[in-house]
Chain A
Amino acid sequence: MTLCANNISFSYRKNSPMVLEQVSIKLSPGQIVGIFGPNGSGKSTLANCLAGIRHPDKGMVSIDGYPLCSIPAMQLARKLALASQEIPVSLPFSVEQVLRLGCYPYRGFWQSRMSEESEKIARCVKLTRLQHLVYRQFNELSGGEKRRVMLARAIIQTEQFLLLDEPAAYLDPQHQLELFEILQILAKSGMGILITSHDLFVAPLFLDVAVLMHNGGIIASGSPEQALSVENISIAFKRSISIAWNHPGGIIVDLGVQSI
């Protein structure tokens, strides 16, 4: 089963500049794909198109050859979940209630499968190490904690494709590492994961495939070392940036002071 975007183009309004132009990307089970690029390069729009939130003007997004629009909404929600950048500022729910909403696509019209849902939530809470937050009110959490809860909700929603838009934003270094460790566990269990990020410091270490975007198009794609080469990054970020991949503590990104 693969999630594919074939030559998709997208603009937010008629006659406005294209935000995505002829982008193709493939996400397979067990794979972690990272989309990188500066602000405004089209990463989030691509994630939204892949999730079926936005519909491309040209091209097609499909799962196993079936266009997303041909798959019933609930069935699609069970196949792929999006944790968007949008975090509710205020919610009347507890963390447990937010997590339970991840089970929505599995419910019948009225009833919920209580014990199944509770087991699923308990497994996810253990995996994402949210035990200490479960009974707190969502509104009382910090920005980073809210993001972790929303990520956990998305993990509960699907077992096939997880699309995470800037998942490491608001997270401290420890929780960023923890997040990518969790994503690796999920990928090993067969989940296909796509993340978007403008941050080159941590994410590349955990990826199978990296994609670099600039001005709505893909300028490089492949292994992280290949795609995020000094030349490619310099083109995308318009900065002289060097990366030391083999540093023992992880990668070192040296941001040049000179604009290109």
Chain B
Amino acid sequence: MDKINSQRSYLWQLSLLLALSGAILLLALCCGAVKISPTQILETLSGFDSNSTASQIIINTRLPRIILAGLSGMSLSLAGLAAQTLFRNPLASPYMLGVSNGSALGAVTGMLIGGLNAASLTVCGMAGGIMSLLLIKFLASRAGNFTGTILLLGIASNALFSAFVSGMLLFAGERLQGIVFWLMGGFWRASWAASGMLAFTTMGGLAAMLLLAPAMNVLLLGDSTAISSGIKLRRLQLWLLLIVAILSAAVVSVAGVIGFIGLIVPHLTRIVFGPELRKLVPVCAVGGAILTIAADTVARSMFAPVEIPVGIITSLIGAPILVWLILVKARGDLWQ
């Protein structure tokens, strides 16, 4: 009976979260350099008004941007949850693997060679991320402690790729400002094409994590216990590694480096929905989308028409939340 009640309460909480995401979506569509009323938004979305300036802004600018922000938030929070499970470390984030800096290096190289067009950025960013993943995987497969080695290699490659990115900035010339702004993270380059690409990786990652969630629960008990429970440990670890790498590389390649979402959203949702990963995976995705859309709305509305990189907003929100989680809520143990 308790189980049925908890199932019902989960569905209620999930419905509330979905309603909240709907409200945030509407608010995000209204806010910006040009204020648009909810009525105009509803008319545009229902197809009654497709020619006005407001509807053009909604269809061509705001909607793809909000969708891109939502998908980025989903990807980062799912990647964070996968990294925290893979490393059994509540402080793990999607950027620990070094793939994000590999992706950033690829994108910056693309910008210097091919200019600032979105397609070259995405392709080069993804290529950089995947190449750094393959390098880490190749080196780690020679060591005994797989996850420990991956973690250390991640730290090393993060430092190495970051040095390369900084070095390349010296040769950026007049493109320097654009590249630095991009590195801070933001969605101003949003397009339906970028959203489509990110939707593909995000939904793939979400589906994979939903399927892996029961095994991920057992993985937290330790390697020996997981193998003894019937889990093919190395295969599960590789899947999680791949999920973290692809989700984070995809986000970096379309929106730059956006911090804290992948670290704090899994913890915030765990407080409300509990630690069971079959329940946590979907709400973590929705929670990440809500927080990122909200941060992006603030980033483009606060000093409109001037825009702040969203990475600054997520860090400003994320750092105090993390401190609160560690010192007040969890009293030093984030798994609590």
Contact = CB atoms under 8 A, between A and B. Distances in A.
A157 B90 CA distance: 27
Given A107-B214, A114-B3, A90 B223 contact: no
A137 interface: yes
Interface residues of A, number: 40
Nearest to A117: B3
Nearest to B267: A92
A157 B227 CA distance: 12
B270 interface: yes
Given A93-B275, A98-B221, A73 B336 contact: no
B177 interface: no
Interface stretch (A20-28, A74-82, A177-185): A74-82
B3 to A, nearest CB: 5
A88 B88 CA distance: 9
Interface string B71-97: 000000000000000001010000000
Contacts of A56: none
29 contacts: A51-B227, A52-B227, A53-B227, A73-B232, A75-B230, A83-B225, A84-B222, A84-B225, A84-B228, A86-B223, A88-B222, A90-B335, A92-B90, A92-B275, A93-B217, A98-B221, A101-B217, A101-B218, A101-B221, A104-B215, A104-B217, A104-B229, A107-B214, A110-B211, A110-B214, A137-B336, A150-B225, A153-B221, A157-B228
B231 interface: yes
Contact of A76 (B3, B230, B278, B333): B230
B220 interface: yes
Contacts of A137: 336
Given A83-B225, A91-B221, 11 more contacts: A12-B144, A53-B224, A53-B227, A73-B232, A86-B224, A86-B225, A91-B335, A93-B220, A109-B211, A139-B335, A154-B228
Interface residues of B, number: 28
B43 interface: no
A105 interface: yes
B335 A92 contact: yes
A118 interface: yes
Interface in B196-231: 211, 214-215, 217-218, 220-225, 227-231
A62 B211 CA distance: 31
Contacts of A87: 222
Contact of A77 (B211, B214, B230): B230
A226 interface: no
Interface string A106-126: 010110001000100000000
A86 B222 contact: yes
